[in-house]
Structures are given as structure tokens and as C-alpha cells.
Structure 1
């Protein structure tokens, strides 16, 4: 399996690539240049005709250079820019090999480090090790010497049955000046055949699907189409039917990644929470489950009328949110003041008092918060991780109060029992005890 694509980056020289490449117009279109780049792809067809390819930037369209410009030969590509010269990179996506384990670990640590930076402001006590345990591997592998390298190599070799449907693709950049290729990104995913059994778990899909476990691109190579290239390469690698149901999870604090996934056709289908460090620390993080349904899975889900489960109920009351109304009526900051259940409908009442005005006045409304959030029309003014952290702290406080109340009740019961045992017996109590003893002797 071999995929190749053009990526551009500013440099101070003109470079030639002596091999045919797949030209991706969308990738080239994101480069911010003052003018444009002309690309001449001189390839000879069966009838001997030469084909020229021009990729315009913005709305500028220019004529391709002649075949004799710059001395181009067959199967060569020439990049030239009027005001800025560019270097051409050949990016490949290949299956990960055993010898790539160390390079993958380097990218995985950068992946964990970015998550650490996202949470540092709200959880300063969280460490890189906490994120490694959360994202990459369990404790016994992390603490074992060379444990992570052996773990990756085991996944590549598929030593265990659980690795049979797990695949890792790497994105490498080979510089045209002969330097060795560098791994700049990877995608790890798991495919599922699906089950139509009535005994399948609630989380198991009835049709073939794929779960993206990790996807990462080095910072210097972002916004050049490398992430999309990895995603597209994954879809090329899996069964056609599994392409219709793609799932992944993204940290709610990672707003840039969420926007990018939305641009690739994903919508939020649910939320889940996890803990960094110990549960008692209440370092709650929230993941947004995102899904891209196409074809028959999407049609069947619509026919059944079963949408994704509700994410929010009364647990988000008093939270401030920003609504971008889909009817174009405007963007408003409001407070969630009530949760209303009407049959199958789950609505949230909102109030703009003290936050925003509509036509100069405050207003109230009832919205389907879950549906608005999935579609990207609602943004919480506090990160969901903080919202769920406060909910967890409130639960923890309630548990402590309940435990203290129970302890107080037990202490009162013990005190009453002790008082009964220590007080002097009255004549009536002595008479009752004597008669009870006589009755036992008679029996």
C-alpha cells in the first residue's frame, strides 16, 4: 500500500522531484502565498501527447509553462512562484513497521504533551505521566523497561488476538534533497464487523464500523492536508461497508480538533468522562464522541427514529451557553434555568437576563439543547470538563454528608444502647426479669 501527495512549504530554492506524484488540489489550496504556484506535470500518455497540470491559488488562473521551461523531462514536476519559492515534499502514508516503534513513541508523547498543555490551566497538578496512562498504555506497560516499545511492536506483529483488527498507518515526509524520511503523523484505528445479534452490547454497532483510536500530526506539518490524508488513507485501507460508520472521541478542551472533525463530516453523538490521576482528585475530563454516518447506516438510523442518547439533563442547570440560532436570528448568551420533559421531548429553558438582549429586551426560550449541541449551534461558556468536575465535586460532597449523617446516627444508637446498659434497674425491671426467668424454668 502506497499513497503519495504534494505538500508545500516556504523555502529559498527550487527543487525537482524525479517521480510521479498524486496532486491534491485541496492540499495545495490552503497554502497562503501572495501570488500563486505553477505546477507543471509532464507525463507522456500512450499516444505521445504531453499533459500539463496547473494548480491556481485563490482565484488566480495562469497558463501552464511550456514543456521546455526549465528543462523539464518526462515524469518531472517543477514548482515556481512569482514572489516566493517553495520546496516540494513527497508525503507517503504506509503501514507501521516494527522498526518504527521508537518514532511512533516520540509522536505519541507529543500527542500526550498537547493534552497536558490543554488541561494545565485547570488542572496544574496533572502530569505527563497521567496523560500517558490515560491515552497510551496501562500502568504495568508504562513502568516496565522498554514496555512501551514492546507493546507497539506487539501491536504491529499482532501477537495477541485483540490486535487482529487494529491498524496503525504512518505519514512520512521524504525531503527532495536526499535526507531520510521523517515520520510526521500517524493514525491508529480498529475495525469491527458488526453484529445483528439481539444479545450484542449497547455500544456495539449492527453494521461494520471503524473506531479511530488516535490521530496526530506534528505541529509544523499541520494545515497542509496531512491529517486529511491520513483519514482518507484509513478509509482506503478498510472495508467499504465500514467507511459508512466512522467513530472517534476528542477532548472537549481541544476546540481546534473538534472544528476540524466537523469539517470532515463528523457530528457529536455523545459525551463521556474520565479521571486524570485518582478519582478523589476529581480531575474530570470530558470526551466528545463524534460519528460520521453515511449510506445505509444513516438511512436505517433515520428510519428507526432513534437518535443518539441525551447528553444533558438537569446536570447543566445554571450554566451559561452561547446559542447560534440555526434560523439566522442571531447569536445570544443565555443561562440554562430549567429542564423540561414533555413525553419524548427533552427541552431546556434558557433566560438571557443579564447576558444578552434581543431587540433591546431580555428573552426566554425553550431549546433542544442536546440537538443544538450536536449540530454545533451551542457552545458552553465554561468547558464541559469544568462543568462535569463541579458536578463530580457536588456528588462527592453529597456522599461525604451522607456518610457523616450515617455515622452520627450510628453514634446515637450506640449511645442509647450504652445508656440502657448503664442505668440502675427499677423494681419493675427486676420483677420482669424474675418472671421471665421463672417462665424459662417452667418450660
Structure 2
């Protein structure tokens, strides 16, 4: 009885939250990233370079739009929406985003969560209560679309359709670049048809905008990628974001960052070699297709310069498997603590803080890098060989259920706080 009451209250709580979010979105009272996608795509259609500071008069109190770092193919694909009124285009975007996220979550449940959630209803409550999912929908980002393409490709690979898998992975690699690590993953699996399909799709989709624009658009994109200074913002969980927070003064946008780029590229090459080595030698990774896939996804998000919080739906399969291990298996203390730390750090909700507002290096290394450490611990737990560890601890003594439930609730309170603040100030 108590459980049913809790589920009912949680459902109503989330319904009110999402209705409020989409209501204020459609009424243009929330600064959303879709506005920059829309403006940049419209600029491309009008023959104007989309990779510059864009402005809008649509949003109240928001003249300057967030910098758009989507490749030209994304802007080209979005052009049909630019022929529609902004609000109608936003409504279509929101609908497609929710449907893509639900489909990706459905595949996550099918392959990674059936044993953990005998009742799908509880799984869906968890999904919509996750802070990264809420933020992705709130600011109209692309996280659910990325999860859709990556998991749909995995689904086809598991069902002996490598060409379709390569197509989906090629599409998302052209749109976001960092999923190109899936090419190495397919190669390690000796899925040659998937590799070929991925390469052809990636090249074709990447350069199809040339039918409308010229090569200068690509150069402008590459220049803008090097000019922006928000890689160090606290929602960026990637290695590059962490290095940016530690070493770059984001208040000085004229400083030379070539040295940090060289450092990052060296670490990227070393990490890719390490990824291949551990994939080929670690029995835990090779034992199950799910392990290899999740290891690849966490690695590509960790190594991408754009490991944003709203992309964390990609981590949901691995997080669910870790949570299941914590509650069902006996484990070594070290592995147990690493998994617990990873989940709690990744679930901890924090508001978006630009790097320029982070007070000092100690803050950069600690509180404002929680998501980086959570992702790092998720990587490390793969490198611990279970065959070499003595089972010593009953996980029931370290149950993290209450802590996770508390973080889930806190994650829903953050947008509630800003919505209430918006209503009061209106």
C-alpha cells in the first residue's frame, strides 16, 4: 500500500514538472539551446555563416544566443523546421526529442534492465526523474537523439544487422563526431560490414551540406570550436573539460590554449591505445557484449571535448548494470566503493556554472568536477579484473538505495525551484 502511494505521488510530481517545463518553453520564457540551433540553421539557409554570435528577439531578456557548435550537417538537417514558425518548430522538436528518448530508454530496458525492474512502470519513473534527462528536455538539447542513434545501432548489431548498425552510428558520428569511437569498437568485433557502413554514412552525411554551402563553412566551424571557452563549465564531464577547468582562465578569452590542446591530443592518443588494449585483454569486458558496448560508450564520452551532462542518457545502461551489481552480488570493497562513488557523483544535481564563475582551482578540482570524477570511476571499474579480487563484502551492508532516491528527488527539486522563482518574478 505504501509503495503504491509513493509511486502515485512520484508520478504526479513528475507530471506537474514536465507540464510546467514544456509550458514555459513554448511560451518562450526559458532560454533553450534549440533557439541557437534554429537561428544557426536559418542562417545557413540564408547564405550567412552560422558560426558566429547570433541574436534573437524571440526570447524575453535573451538577445545573445548560446554558441552553436553543431557540425554543418546538423544545421542542414534542421532546415525544414526553420520554414515553420518558431513555436511550432519547437513543439515538433520537443515531441521528437521525447519520442527519441523514450525509444532509447525502451532499448535500455530491453537489453540492460529487465532483471532489475520486473515492473516497467518503475523503470519509466526512474528515467523521467533523472536529472540529466530533465535538463536535456528543459533546455531542448540533443541528448535523447544521441542516445537514440547509439542504442538503435547497438540493437541492430545484437540482431545481426551490421549494415543498419553502421548506418545509425555513422549518422550520429557525423552529427557529433565523438561517437566515431564506435568505428574502432565495430572493428574490434570484426564487424567489417558495420565499419564500412559507418564510414560511408559518416562521409556522405558530413559533406552533404556542400550542395548548399561551400567549404568555408567547415573552416568557420573548426575555428569556432577552438575559440569557445566554455569547455570548463561544470556540466562538462570530459577529460578536456577537466583540463580546461584546471589550467585555463576563462575570463581571458585571448590567451593561447595551444599547449592544452597538445596535451589533450597526447592524452587522447594514449587513451585510445589503452582502450584497445583493455578491450582485447580484459576478460570482464570481452565476456559479455553489453560490457564491451558500455565500456566503449563511457570511453567516448570521457574522451570527447563535449561530455555534457545532458548526454548522460548514454550512461544509463552502464549505471543500471552497476546498480544491479551493488544490490545483488558479493564484491570486493574496492570495486564496491568505486561503483558507489561513480553513481552518486553522476546523480548529484548541480546547477549550471560557467567556468568564469568558478572561484578557485580547489573548487575546480572538487565540487565543480563531480561529473568528471563520476565518469572517471565508471571507467576505472572496468579496469579492475574480478578474477583477481577476493570476494569479501556483502553488498547489502552498503545499499545505496536511499542515497540514490534522495539524489533523484533533489534533481527534480532544482527545476521546480527555478520554475517557482520564475512564477514569483513574473
TM-score past 0.5 threshold? no
Give the greater-gyration-radius structure (CA).
Answer: 1
Q: Tell which has more relative contact order, 1 or 2 (C-alpha 8 A, sep 6+).
A: 2
TM-score, normalization by structure 1: 0.28
Q: Give the number of the structure whose residues are more often strand, by fraction.
A: 1
